[in-house]
């Protein structure tokens, strides 16, 4: 494996809950290479969500190292983390998390607004990203005028628009029916083929099966880490 895009060493995360300390992560080590398609699985309480927050730079670890695209990000301030999220990470959420009053185009433009991109360039890059997910003709629609699958595609376009190092998807098909889920998985497979690194957190085995590699967490530790056959690949 060449220089990994993500290098995690002995990552721990403790939460203080009143007098008790909850150990969500108890020393996770993980390398993820460029253009990998990785699924993180695990039952609830396994530390899956915490792991997703860590990788997504939404949270900082209690201990350990996290190198993202050659940069140690575990000790950064809130605002520095915001910059890293903006540049390196494209989020896809279970509930889509689109701004309800904004059009598809404006939703996709949002990361570029915080990157300080001029409005003309934002427009052209956002419409290109929407074109990539097959929604070039839905740019002026608001989320409530779109189907679930279309909404998730808008979210994927938004995640891609800043050309992030990783696409981080949290249960991306959790709110979709199986046909639509399959469609979204096709989009992911295509992006992966184009060279995108994808990390997907899911508890559905058949969704995880689309990835090339599956990491299973249990009790805050890596239980298994094995290559799988991408069904769609």
Which position among 22, 113, 205, 233 is part of the footprint of another protein (CB under 8 A)?
A: 113
Toward another protein, which CB reaches closer, 109 or 183?
109
Q: Exposed, middle or buried by CB within 10 Å (0-12, 13-18, 19+), for 160?
A: buried
Question: Largest Cα–Cα distance of the chain, in whole Å?
Answer: 54
When asked if residue 152 is in the footprint of another protein (CB under 8 A), the reply is no
Cβ atoms < 10 Å from Cβ of 89? 23
Positions in 60-99 near another protein (CB under 8 A): 78-79, 82-83, 85-87, 91, 93, 97-99
Query: Should residue 59 be labelled a site residue for another protein when binding is judged by CB under 8 A?
Result: yes
Report how far residue 10's alpha carbon sits from residue 76's, in angstroms, rounded to the nearest whole number: 17
Q: Give the Cα separation of 149 and 223 in Å (integer).
A: 32
Q: Site for another protein (CB under 8 A): how many residues? A: 26
Stretch touching another protein by CB under 8 A, among 54-62, 137-145, 184-192, 198-206: 54-62
What residues are paired with 150 via a beta bridge? none
Minimal distance in Å, beta carbon 221 to another protein?
A: 21
Question: Which pairing describes strands 213-218 and 221-227: parallel, antiparallel, or unpaired?
Answer: antiparallel
Residue 232 binds to another protein (criterion: CB under 8 A): no
In angstroms, give the least distance from the CB of 110 to another protein: 5
Please, what is the minimum distance in Å from the beta carbon of residue 34 to another protein? 22
User: What DSSP designation does 231 have?
Assistant: S
Pairing of strands 166-170, 71-72: unpaired
Q: Which is nearer to another protein, 98 or 207 (CB)?
A: 98
Supply the minimum distance, in Å, between the C-beta of residue 40 and another protein. 17
CB of 227 to another protein, least distance (A): 30
Give the DSSP H/E element, type plus range, for residue 122: helix 119-132
**6-17 vs 63-68, strand pairing mode:** antiparallel
Which residues sit at the interface with another protein, rule CB under 8 A? 53, 56, 58-59, 78-79, 82-83, 85-87, 91, 93, 97-99, 101, 110-111, 113-116, 119, 158, 162
């Amino acid at each position: 494996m060449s220089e990994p895009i993500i290098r995690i060493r002995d990552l721990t995360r403790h939460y203080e809950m009143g007098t008790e300390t909850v150990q969500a992560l108890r020393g996770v080590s993980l390398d993820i290479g460029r253009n990998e398609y990785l699924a993180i699985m695990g039952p609830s309480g396994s530390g899956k969500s915490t792991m997703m927050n860590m990788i997504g730079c939404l949270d900082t670890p209690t201990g350990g190292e996290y190198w993202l695209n050659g940069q140690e990000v575990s000790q950064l301030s809130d605002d520095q983390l915001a910059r890293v999220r903006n540049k390196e990470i494209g989020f896809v959420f279970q509930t889509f998390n689109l701004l309800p009053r904004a059009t598809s185009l404006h939703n996709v433009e949002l990361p570029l607004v915080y990157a300080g991109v001029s409005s003309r360039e934002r427009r052209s890059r956002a419409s290109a990203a929407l074109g990539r997910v097959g929604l070039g003709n839905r740019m002026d629609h608001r989320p409530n005028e779109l189907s679930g699958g279309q909404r998730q595609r808008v979210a994927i376009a938004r995640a891609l628009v800043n050309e992030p190092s990783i696409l981080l998807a949290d249960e991306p098909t959790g709110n979709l029916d199986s046909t639509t889920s399959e469609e979204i998985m096709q989009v992911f497979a295509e992006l992966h083929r184009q060279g995108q690194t994808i990390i997907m957190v899911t508890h559905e085995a058949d969704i995880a099966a689309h990835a090339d590699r599956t990491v299973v967490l249990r009790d805050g530790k890596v239980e298994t880490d094995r290559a799988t056959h991408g069904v769609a690949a």
